[in-house]
Amino acid sequence: MSKSETAVIYARVSKHTSEDESVSITTQLQGLRSLAAAKGLTVVKEYVDDGISGFKNVHRPAFSSLVADMSKQQFSTILVRHFDRLARNDEDSSLIRVGCARYGIKWMTQSGELTDPAAAQGGLLASITGAVALYESKVKSERLRARYAHNRSRGVSNTGRRAFGYSMDKQTPHPTEALELQKAFAHILDGGSIFQILKDWNTRGLPTIGKSKCWSYPAIRTILTNPRYAALMTYQGQIIEDTPGDWTPLVSRQDFDDVQAILNDPKRRTSPGSKTRYLGGGIYTCQVCGSPMRTNTSSDRQTGERHVYYRCSTKLAYDGDTTKHVTVKMTLADELVRSAVVAAFAFGTADLFPTQASSSRSLSTLQAAASRVRETKGKVLRLMTQELVSEEEATSQLQELKRQELALERDIQAAIQAEMQSDLTVDLRAGMWTGGLQKVADVKRELGERFDALGVDKRRELVRTLLDVVVNGGRGEKVTITHRVVTSLNRAE
């Protein structure tokens, strides 16, 4: 078989969330296979990017593979429904044109039109086709943005998939899911925990709305923090106060706000009347699914002794989950984390946490400033929905206000953390290296003792701030610790 008789097929759709779009891939492949047969070409490979935009600068695995395979010179023709399936931006358009011209490859569209980018006319047509595709994509993007802004001003949701609790029309309550969601909000208001909801839903086999067979902790938290259930419109993560949604709310605004206050309270207990006793509960995460780890007591199979383990909360909540989530003995994980915190203080800079003295404003002043920024963000959103400012101008102002808010939040966190640094280090590191290795060892031991003397809440806050802790499965390294502040302590990849 000569190279001139061989071809490859490339098919792409931008989204795979609807049945028609999924069929589009099948339709493209069927049509292009028929085209190959009619032209006497043998298809040696098919490349498919399902649900990936050709306009946005995102990675397209199949397209990248196609470009890489050009240099192998194993095919002469690329079959594609239309050139805009290959590229809808300048970068990809140039990449495919130059590659085809360099290796003597042509492309043929569904209509049978053959383009040779190495020829003068073919190169011109390819450039024009690519420019037209880019123009059409930009026009479509602008039209969609305008439509979304108009929808927001009328309280019409721009969401694609239905939310749990709503019927397929995305407007009316689902006969069973809505009741479950309302019970979940009430459970949190009554002092319950997300973990208890997770266990209840999975035990009773409550179906999810996605591909997962069981509920996870992050999925339920996402539901409980979604403003949609109070019929609230949002834009860039902010609630638009003066424009209620046109769908039926499942919970009241007051209940929604109260639940957010409970879930965002760092001092919130995981169950009524109990105190946090363990360092990593709810902080360490499962490497398999990303859910937080919870403590569980069980007996050692060999000795019969009782030990405390960190187990994935998803696995604890649903015995029927066949996925192999992770487990680690509490003493092993906590000792590794303790050593990492001590190392951060021993080898980090003197201002591991910015101290209060580094800011000329008090904690109360910082909190008041953050409150004013949030109020201003609400005013900008109201002006935009009333069309008193353009969406472009509003977006620019919101981005600046977001930057200010994040800076204030960092200063507030630094003020809170200053006390913890003072309790733990003070003057320990002064002259640490002048006393040799024994001095270093003494300092680390003293740091460890001071860490142990802190209350569990302060120790947990240190872990949250300084480290990311992931519990792994298998027989290898059981715990992966990544330093968030003293990054020089992280191992090179």
pLDDT, mean of residues 431-435 = 49
What is the pLDDT, as a whole number, of residue 17? 43
Strands 232-235 and 238-244: antiparallel
132-136, 392-396, 414-418: which is most confident: 392-396
Decide if pLDDT at 253 tops 50. yes
Q: Please indicate whether residue 437 or residue 260 has the higher confidence score (pLDDT).
A: 260
Looking up tokens 């200053």, which residue turns up? 418
Grouping H, G, I as helix, E, B as strand and the rest as coil, residue 438 is helix
**Running DSSP on this structure, what letter comes out for residue 4?**
G
pLDDT, mean of residues 132-151 = 68
> Using an 8 Å Cβ cutoff, are 267 and 241 in contact?
no
Strand partners, 342: none
Give the residue from 254, 232, 259 showing the smallest Cα distance to 244: 232
What is the pLDDT, as a whole number, of residue 270? 43
The Cα–Cα gap between 274 and 288 comes to 28
What is the pLDDT, as a whole number, of residue 151? 66
The Cα–Cα gap between 7 and 418 comes to 66
pLDDT band of residue 3 (cuts 50, 70, 90) is low
The structure's pTM equals 0.39
pLDDT band of residue 458 (cuts 50, 70, 90) is confident
Give the residue from 94, 274, 85 showing the smallest Cα distance to 195: 274
For the CA atoms of 362, 367, 371, 376, the dihedral, rounded to the nearest 10 degrees, stands at 50
String of DSSP letters for 104-149: T-EEEETT--EE-TTSHHHHHHHHHHHHHHHHHHHHHHHHHHHHHH
At residue 308, φ and ψ (nearest 5 deg) are: -95, 130
Q: How far is CA 141 from CA 13, 137, 144, 176, 257, in A?
A: 16, 6, 5, 37, 34
pLDDT, mean of residues 163-169 = 88
Decide if pLDDT at 465 tops 70. yes
Alpha helices in 320-435 (DSSP H): 330-347, 363-385, 391-424
What is the pLDDT, as a whole number, of residue 476? 77
pLDDT band of residue 273 (cuts 50, 70, 90) is very low
Structure tokens at 157: 């949701």
The Cα–Cα gap between 411 and 398 comes to 20
Judged on CB neighbours under 10 Å (0-12, 13-18, 19+), 62 is middle
Decide if pLDDT at 148 tops 70. no
What is the pLDDT, as a whole number, of residue 433? 46
Give the residue from 34, 15, 38 showing the smallest Cα distance to 25: 15
pLDDT, mean of residues 459-476 = 87
The Cα–Cα gap between 427 and 414 comes to 19
Distance between start and end Cα atoms, the chain: 45
The Cα–Cα gap between 35 and 41 comes to 8
